[in-house]
Structure 1
Amino acid sequence: MAVVVVRDPAVDTPFGVSAALLAAGLAVRPEPPVDRASPATGLAGVEALVVLSARRSDVAPVLALLRDAVAAEVPVLALGAGAGLLAEAEGSAADPDGTGPGTRLGLTLTPPAGNDPLLAAVGPLPEAPLPGRAPLPVAERDRRDPVALAGTVAPAGHTVLARQRQAFRLGSAAWGVPFVDGDRPGPWGELLLGRFAALAAARAAHTTTRAHFTRQAGDWEERFAYQAPAYAAAVARMRLEAGGRALDVGCGTGRAMPALRAQVGPSGQVVGVDVTPAMLASAARHARHRQGHLLAADCDRLPLPAGSVHGVFSAGLIDQLPDPRATLLEWRRVAAPGAVLLLFHPSGRAERAARNNRPLDPNDLLAEDNLRPALETTGWRMDEYEDAPHHVLARAVLRG
């Protein structure tokens, strides 16, 4: 995985942060891959961002990159002046009366820090002042860095994690820690970086998915609107009874949800699940929330009780997962006796191979010889399979 360190070479050296990240086994890219025309492209192949500062000429694209990273839940650790950048990206400004890294001012962690996925594992703050450069005079500070090295006013919607030098978390994956200097993080800062590296590594697969589909979410529905009849025809093969609960896993913009609603009727339930918030936001813009509930969740850890689902629909997902067996077992857990599983891809295997100028892959999970045993060994009995010119479809029933 790659961690991008965003910094101003005139102000920050990469050594303190880079050493801690390299010690955790992560690759470090020292320059931010920012495309000024489309900052979101800078998230391609990036599993985390560490932000120290920015060149004056790069502030606008770095702020845009941070906004995209927060939206896509790409892990962000903003240290020192970088915390001001993160706050500014979310609508707040640097605090001109604050103090720079290296001072304590009675710094204390707040109760929410005890449950924070980053700070809770780092431990209490040291008694001695944290190391770091002294605050710059205002004139010098403004000349060197457009976002002050001084304190940070945490943005709206944040969780305060430390008072006085206000550390904060945005959502579930972005942290601003203004009292840690990226050049000389000190022992506590190194622990923080190590924990952040471990957290970023654990979330890498989801981060890649979210970053990719966040970039695609805006026009996804329009680009693939022509597939709506194929989705409806696939859902029709489920033959669900009215009043049941239907699940669309990896729902994207929810294209299957109207057809699922039609099958289970007004007394049934439809739940669209996706790991990318931007896709769910697009689904809501297209009124899919009127067909059922939209839920941000991992397909391997569904927040649903065992035996509560009567039909599971999933399109273009199962063959992209790192551990399909674990996913099929999770879907079995939530499935009621006799539940139906419908796996669908809106392109045939031969069609996709030709499109990518490659032969058919014998290891493709969607090949019948691979998919049937994968289903059978996880409790599903496949009763229909089609590898047609323009789709792949497999229907299975939960064995009693």
Structure 2
Amino acid sequence: MDLHDPEWPVIRHMDPVLVPGDRWYRTESRAFFATRAATWDVKFGSDLPAYASAIAESGLVVGGTAVDVGCGTGRALPALRAAVGPAGTVLGADHTPQMLAEASVRARQNGAFLMLADVRHLPLPGRSVDAVFAAGLLNHLPNPANGLRELARITRPGGRLVLFHPSGRAVLAARHGRRLRDDEPLAEPVLRVSTAETGWELLRYEDGPSRFYAVAVRG
């Protein structure tokens, strides 16, 4: 896959063939985000400094390759570009076309490449990226462990996984009118087990009112 041909940065259609059981997830998830794409930044634009801060302190490799999985409108792309520098490569992957359409301006401004792709089946070679950033992703996956395993597949040994949300779990649960559960994918004991079982070592876990932030390293 040549990322540096004259067509980039554009949205590339890289959807894999759907397997049985996947269609409901992808249809429902796409429908949910498609109807919200145009107003997403209006509603959540104030979160941009939190994205920048989280990425800046994550220790990404200058000159490396960083991918934002479930990139949405591309809010992390400027900070990822700043982290890897002009010699690095920044990718954004999402399976909702409307979100990627909104992200296209930020992609062009920051020299980032966008892919229309299911983050559970990424069209990237194994051990090809140095860092994975995922904001609010795991809770949307039907099988978070499988998602973590795919992210481990594409990440080089020693590479980083940054899991982030600009609100902590308790604040987000209250906003949605629900209570936290001990078995949620981002609960610390659950995440420690799932990362360890899928090729990651969890180095940092923070779940305060202002953000959720976890960093793991690829074994």
* Same fold at TM > 0.5: yes
- Give, as a single letter, the amino acid of the residue that structure 2 aligns with 1:356: H
Following TM superposition, by how much is the alpha carbon of 1:364 offset from its aligned partner in structure 2, in angstroms? 1.4
1:387 paired residue among 207, 213, 216:
207
Quote the offset at 1:199 in angstroms: 8.1
Q: Is the 8 A contact 2:91 2:114 kept in 1?
A: yes
Give 1:296's aligned residue.
Answer: 116
The TM-score, its normalising length taken from structure 2, stands at 0.88
Per-residue Cα deviation, 1:241-277 (whole angstroms, up to 9, x for no partner): 2110000000000000100001111111000000001
Instruction: Specify the alignment match of 1:228 in structure 2.
Output: 48
Q: Secondary structure at the match of 1:225?
A: helix
Contact 1:238 1:311 in 2 (8 A): no
| TM-fit CA distance, 1:347 | 1.3
Q: Is 1:249–1:273's contact at 8 Å kept on the other side of the alignment?
A: yes
The letter for the 2-side match of 1:315 is: A
- Counterpart residue number, 2:83: 263
1: CA distance, partners of 2:139 / 2:149: 15
Among candidates 12, 26, 36, match of residue 206 of structure 1: 26
- TM-score computed with the length of structure 1 as normaliser: 0.49
Looking at structure 2, the residues matched to 378 and 254 of structure 1 have their Cα atoms a distance apart, in angstroms, of: 26
- Count the aligned residue pairs: 204
Measured in 1, the distance between the counterparts of 2:21 and 2:157 equals: 37
Map of 1:189 onto structure 2: none
- The reply on whether 1:323 has 2:104 as its aligned counterpart is no
Corresponding residue for 1:351? 171
Distance 2:173 2:146 in 1: 26
Distance 1:357 1:220, change over 3 A: closer
Deviation at residue 289 of structure 1 after TM alignment: 2.9
Distance 1:353 1:310, change over 3 A: same
What does residue range 139-288 of structure 1 map to in structure 2 within 5 Å? 202-284=22-104, 286-288=105-107
The answer to whether 1:373 aligns with 2:178 is no
Runs of 5+ unmatched residues, structure 1 = 1-170, 173-197
Partner Cα distance (1:201, 1:367) in 2: 26
Q: Is contact 2:74–2:106 with CA below 8 Å preserved after alignment?
A: no
Q: 2 CA distance for matches of 1:199 and 1:354?
A: 35
Deviation for aligned residue 1:323:
1.0
Q: Equivalents in 2 of 1:238, 1:311: separation in Å? A: 9
Shift of 1:357: 3.6
Determine which structure has greater relative contact order: mean sequence separation of CA pairs < 8 Å that are 6+ residues apart, divided by chain length: 2
Question: 1:8-64: CA deviations, max 9, x gaps?
Answer: xxxxxxxxxxxxxxxxxxxxxxxxxxxxxxxxxxxxxxxxxxxxxxxxxxxxxxxxx
Q: Separation in 2 of the partners of 1:328 and 1:262?
A: 25
CA distance in 2, matches of 1:335, 1:253: 23
Which whole-Å deviations, capped at 9, do the CAs of 1:89-114 have from their partners, x for residues lacking one?
xxxxxxxxxxxxxxxxxxxxxxxxxx
1:342 and 2:162 equivalent? yes
Change (3 A) 1:331 1:202: closer
In structure 1, which of residues 299, 314, 317 is the aligned counterpart of residue 134 of structure 2? 314
State the AA in 2 paired with 1:210.
R
3-state SS of paired residue (2:31) = helix
Question: Residue 355 of structure 1: CA displacement?
Answer: 2.2
Residue segments in structure 2 that go unaligned for 5+ positions in a row: 1-12
**Identity among equivalent pairs (%):** 47
Give the 3-state SS of the residue equivalent to 1:287 in structure 2: helix
Q: CA RMSD in A?
A: 2.0
Greater C-alpha Rg: 1
What do the CA deviations read for 1:256-310 (whole angstroms, capped 9, x no partner)?
A: 01000011111110000000011000111x3323320011001111111111100
> Over residues 100-156 of structure 1, what are the superposed CA-to-partner deviations in whole Å (9 max), with x where a residue is unaligned?
xxxxxxxxxxxxxxxxxxxxxxxxxxxxxxxxxxxxxxxxxxxxxxxxxxxxxxxxx
DSSP 3-state at the match of 1:365 = coil
Contact 2:168/2:211, CA 8 A, preserved across alignment? yes
User: 1:244 & 1:357 partners in 2: Cα distance?
Assistant: 40
Alpha-carbon distance between aligned partners in 2 of 1:343 and 1:231, rounded to the nearest angstrom:
11
